[in-house]
Amino acid sequence: MINKTFIYFVLYALTVGFSTTSSVFPGCYLDVLTNPALTPLIVGSDVFPEPSPNGSLHFVYREPIYIACPGGEFTPTAIDVNGHSVYCREGTIVDIKTGVAGDFNKIICTLNDTARPYLTDKPNSDISCEGGTAVEIGYTLNKSFYRALLVCFQLELGIPLYTKYRISKWARSGQNYAEPPRYVFDLGLFSDDPVAAYENYGTTFEDLGLQRYVDGVHYLTKGQLAAYDEFLYSFQRDATYDLANVAPRWNTFDQGNWRVLENAIVNLLESGDIGDATVLTGTLKVATLVNVNGTEEELRLKESGTTFPVPRWFWKLVYIPGDNFGAVFFGYNNPYVSKDNVDFEFLGEICYSDVFEILKDTWLLNGVDNSDAFLGYIYACQLDTNQIIDTLLAEIVRNVLLEGNLTSINFSTKQK
């Protein structure tokens, strides 16, 4: 680590404002909601901490803090963009080396779009991962790594199994966030260029005899597992653009019922004081389409001999520990299959019962339209290993529940 004092860290996203207290040993307050577009990355007392009800973060008197602006420029320029050690004192920060005090309000991190996202993704064999390899997405500062996202990645298939993260009620408070101009990835994860595979997906469809399925209205897009607007801090949001967190998704589904589901979960967390949600968003199976010869073909985007499978299903496990409340949602990523066939597959291969209709009101999901295949059919299963048919998903659910010393949780109504 950069300094052993910094046992915990937090990445913040993009203007900083502090106020002082009138106590004997006043700390520092950081307003992260007013205009986070210029806030530096800050390593402090927690990992992506939630603001208090007034929208500020508190750093205690003499708490050590590490500030950085990876891929950007600092104002004042004397601050090292790759990391600068300071501590909190009476509403200001003090340079640990020189003792010079500075005003938090005047420390600005300006990111250069041509350098964003300034990220690293790397496998970590020390982290367990069902059916894949754990890949950490984050930032390397002075040879120390700080994780923003954890992905369970299927290296041999070239596709993420799931991304694990946390959503808080402040997710949509990241105002003035500008999406980075490009996706990034570590060449160690992919033998070929996934971006080229996405850009040339039309060639793949033609080679497979499936060209009639795509046009200017219906096409494949880069589907983020962890969506950027499920996070408050911009350095977290940038991390969602790493291709380890991406899988092919039909555009109508991406902007249809799946988007409704993502929004509903954030809306639910914003609507009350139920705490953070642990979320795993993943993929399952490979989509198929019938070609011009009547043969069913697995849909895999190709680039220089490497294939990138199009998931048949996307799923989102949501567990809210504070309310002992959760469920697993599934979205069907293939608009050319009848509802009857999809129902049969869900109940025969994934979950013993579909509880989506039971959950709609509680989870604010009345905007889902399951009558239109292009919007993507949405289903739900209890967060209970006895309900999951798919063996790999059952293992994933079991491990999430074990983290909370549970075997199943309430799914139909929030705890009061």
| Cα angle for residues 232, 105, 68 (degrees, 5° grid) | 60
- Phi, psi of 302, rounded to the nearest 5 degrees: -115, 145
Task: Please indicate whether residue 35 or residue 8 has the higher confidence score (pLDDT).
Answer: 35
Task: Please indicate whether residue 261 or residue 301 has the higher confidence score (pLDDT).
Answer: 261
Tokens linked to 405 = 């010393």
Q: Which residue has the tokens 């799914």?
A: 411
What residues form DSSP beta bridges with 381? 328
* DSSP code at position 76: S
Q: What's the rounded mean pLDDT across residues 200-209? A: 89
Residue of 207, 225, 168, 403 lying closest to 305 (CA atoms): 207
Q: Write out the H or E segment, with its range, that includes residue 202.
A: helix 201-207
Contact 48/36 with Cβ under 8 angstroms?
no
Residue-by-residue DSSP string for 24-53: SS--EEEE-SS-GGGPPEEE-SSSSPPPPT
Q: Which residue has the tokens 């739900």?
A: 380
Tokens linked to 323 = 């309310």
Task: Please indicate whether residue 40 or residue 147 has the higher confidence score (pLDDT).
Answer: 147
* pLDDT tens per residue, range 247-299: 999 999 999 999 999 999 999 998 877 888 999 999 999 999 999 999 999 99
| Cα angle for residues 99, 105, 106 (degrees, 5° grid) | 70
* DSSP code at position 241: T
For the chain, first and last CA: distance in Å?
Answer: 42
208: alpha, beta or left? (left if phi > 0; alpha if psi -120 to 50): alpha
* DSSP code at position 211: G
Residues in contact with 243: Cβ distance below 8 Å, sequence separation at least 6, in sequence order: 183, 184, 185, 189, 190, 194, 195, 222
* DSSP code at position 134: E
Residue 411: what pLDDT? 64
Tokens linked to 321 = 């520990």
Rounded-to-integer distance, Cα 13 and Cα 366, Å: 32
Rounded-to-integer distance, Cα 158 and Cα 23, Å: 55
Q: Write out the H or E segment, with its range, that includes residue 68.
A: strand 64-68
Rounded-to-integer distance, Cα 375 and Cα 385, Å: 28
Residues in contact with 37: Cβ distance below 8 Å, sequence separation at least 6, in sequence order: 13, 14, 15, 175, 176, 177, 178, 234
Please say if the pLDDT value at position 344 is more than 80.
yes
Mean pLDDT lowest among 62-71, 72-81, 89-98, 278-287: 89-98
Mean pLDDT lowest among 43-57, 311-325, 372-386: 43-57
* pLDDT tens per residue, range 103-124: 776 788 888 887 788 888 889 9
Task: Please indicate whether residue 95 or residue 264 has the higher confidence score (pLDDT).
Answer: 264
What residues form DSSP beta bridges with 123? 135
**Is residue 173 helix, strand or coil?**
helix
83: alpha, beta or left? (left if phi > 0; alpha if psi -120 to 50): left
